Amino acid sequence: MKKITNFIIDQKLIIIIIVLIIALSVEDKSFFTVKSLASILEHATIIGIMAAGMTVLLISGSFDLSVGSVMAFTGIITIMLQKPLGLFLSVLIGLIAGTMVGVINGLLVVKGRINAFIATLGTMVIFKGFGLALTGSSPVKGTIAAYQFIGQGQVFGVDITLFYLIAIFIIVWYLLKYTKFGRNDYAIGGNILSARLSGINVNLYTLYYFVFCAFTAAVSGIILSSRVNTGNAVFGDTTNLTVIAAAVLGGTSLFGGKGGVIGTIQGVIILGLIERAMVVFNVDTNYQLLVRGIIILFVVVTDAVTSRRKKLDIEKGVMEKGA
C-alpha cells in the first residue's frame, strides 16, 4: 500500500500526463494524431521557452517576475523597428533590448542586493510602462510578411515553433548537465558559500542566469509578436506566474539547488494538456480556473510531503552509517 502511494507520488507528473492523455483520446477521436499531439507542444512553446529559462534561474535560487513584460517589450521593439531597420536587425535589436532587462534585473540583485522578488516586480512594472509609452497604449502592427514565418511557419506539417521549443530544451538540458554555466548554477543554488570559495564568480553567474532567463523571454516575445504579427504592452500581463508555475510543477525548487528541464517540460505539457482538455470537454469557463488551481496545489503539496519523507530517510541513513 505504502509502496503504491510512494510510487504515485514520485511519478505523479507522468501519471497526471498519462491520465489526461487517456481521457482526451477517449473523448476526442482526432486527439491521437501527430498533428493534434504536436499542437499541444506548439501551444506550449511560448510558456515553455520561458519556463526553461526560469528553471535555470530558479536553480540558482533566484526568481523573475518580469518575464511577461520582457516578452511584450521585445515584441514591441521588434515590430516598431521593422520598417526602418528591416527584418534581421529589428529581430536582433529586439532580442538585445529584451535581454538587457535581464542585465538590469541581475545588477539590481547582485550589486544592489535587492530581493529578486522586489527587483523584478519593479522592472515588470517599469517595462510594461515603457511599452505602453512607446506604443501610446495601442497595439503596433507588423509590416514585414516574412516576419510572420518565425511564429506561424510550417515545417514537415507541424508548426515551426515546435522546433524552437525542442531546441531550447535540448540546449538548456545540455548547458545544465555539461557546462560550467550549468554546474555552477547548481553550486550557487545549493551552497553559495562553497561556490564562492571554489572560485566561482557567484555574482557574475547569477547575472548570467538573469540574462539567460530574460533572453528566453525575449525569444518568446519574438515568437509571440510574430505569431500575432502585433506588439502590445498588455501582452503577457499574466504570463509570469504561469511560467513559474510550470517550472515548479516540474519539481524545480523555489529555493534553488535542485531541478531541471526534464521536469519542466513535463510541467509545461501538463499545463498544455489541461488547456486542451478544457476545450475538448467543453468545461464551463468558470471551472477551468478551479481545475488549474487544484492541480497546482496537488503537486506542490505532494512535493512537500515527499521532500519531508526524503529528509527523514536521510537522517535514518546517517544513523545507520554513523553506527
Partner 1 sequence: MSDADTTIKSTSVKRGFIKFFYSQAMLFILIILFVIMIFVSDNFFTLNNIYNLFRHVAILGVMACGMTLVIIGKGIDLSAAAILGLSAVSFVMIQQYGYAVSVAVAIAVGVVCGFINGYFIGKVKANFIIVTLATGILFTATSLIISEGRNLTARPLLVFSYIGSSSVFGFPVIIIFLIIIMIITGILLQKTIAGRRLYAAGLNDKAALVSGINTSNIIMGTYVLNGLICGIAAVVMTSRIPRIRVGQTAPYLFDVITIVVLGGTALTGGMGGIYKTAIGLAIFGIVNNSMAILSIPYEYQQLIKGIILILAVLYDEFNRRKRLLYQ
Partner 2 sequence: MSSNEYLLEMIDISKYFPGVQALDGVSFKLEKGQVFAIVGENGAGKSTLIKILSGSYTNDHGEIKIEGKKINIRNPFHAMQLGINTIYQETSLVPEISVAENIFLGRQPIKGGKLRWKQMFDDSQKILDDLSINLNPRSIVIDLSTAQQQLIEIAKAFSREAKIIIMDEPTSAIAEDDTENLFNIIRGIVKKGTSVIYISHRLKEIFRIAEMVTILRDGKTVTTIKVSETSEMDIVKYMVGRDIGDIFGEKTYEVSGELILEAKNIARRGFFKNISFNLKRGEILGLSGLVGAGRSEIVRSIFGLDKLDSGEILVEGQRVNIKNSTDGINKGIAFVSEDRRTESIIQGFTVRENVTILLLKEVISKIGLISTKKEARLAKKYIDEFSIKTPSMEQLVMNLSGGNQQKVALAKCLSTSPKILILDEPTKGIDVGAKKEIHTLVKELANSGIGVIMVSSELPEIIGMCHRVLVIREGKLIKEFRKEELNEEDLMQVAVGNIQSEVKNL
Partner 3 sequence: MKKIVIGLLVVAFAFTLLMGGVSCKQTAAEVTTAAEVTTAAAAGMKIGYSMPFIEDSPYCFPFSKALQASVETRGWEMILTDAKGDINTQANQVEDLVAQGLDGLFVMPTDAAGIVSVLEKVHGEYPDLPILISNTLTDPAEIASVKGFAGPNSYLEGKQMGAEYVKYVEKMGYDIINYCHMTGMAGYGAAIDRENGFNDALKEAGAEAKFNMLDLQPGDWSPDKGQTLTENWLTTFGDELQMIYAHNDGMGIGVVNALKAAGVEPGKIVTNGCDGQTQAVQMVKDGWMLFTIFQSPISDAELSMSVMGKIFNGEKVEYFTYLETPTVDASNAAEYLPKAIEIWGAEY
Question: How many helical (H) and strand (E) elements, i.e. helices and strands, does the chain have?
Answer: 14, 4
**# residues near partner 3 by CB under 8 A:** 49
Residue 47 in grid coordinates = 510558456
Distance of closest approach, residue 206 Cβ to partner 3, in angstroms: 29
Question: Contact, 44 vs 268, CB < 8 A?
Answer: yes
Q: What are the angstrom distances between the C-alpha of 209 and each of 98, 128, 216, 233, 234?
A: 14, 22, 11, 24, 25
Q: Which distant-in-sequence residues (6+ apart) come within 8 Å of 7 by Cβ?
A: none
Answer yes or no whether residue 321 interacts with partner 2 by CB under 8 A.
Answer: yes
Distance of closest approach, residue 197 Cβ to partner 2, in angstroms: 6
**Which DSSP helix (H) or strand (E) runs through 119?**
helix 116-135
Instruction: Give the residue, chosen from 96, 152, 183, 281, that forms a contact with partner 2 under the rule CB under 8 A.
Output: 183
**Chain centroid to CA 19:** 23
Reference 209, options 280, 165, 259; nearest CA is 259
C-beta of 35 vs 180, nearer to partner 3:
35
Instruction: Give the residue, chosen from 145, 289, 312, 323, that forms a contact with partner 1 under the rule CB under 8 A.
Output: 289
3-state DSSP of 216-250: HHHHHHHHHHHHCCEECCCCCCCHHHHHHHHHHHC
Distance of closest approach, residue 225 Cβ to partner 1, in angstroms: 19
Distance of closest approach, residue 209 Cβ to partner 2, in angstroms: 16
Residues that bind partner 1 (CB under 8 A): 108, 112-115, 117-119, 121-130, 132-133, 136-137, 241, 244-245, 248, 254, 286-287, 289-290, 292-294, 296-297, 300-301, 303-305, 308
Residues that bind partner 3 (CB under 8 A): 5, 28, 30, 36, 39, 43, 46, 132, 135, 137-142, 148, 152, 224, 227-230, 232-239, 275-276, 278-280, 282, 284-288, 290, 294, 297-298, 301, 304-305, 309
Residues that bind partner 2 (CB under 8 A): 177-180, 183-184, 186-187, 190-191, 193-200, 257-258, 312, 314-323
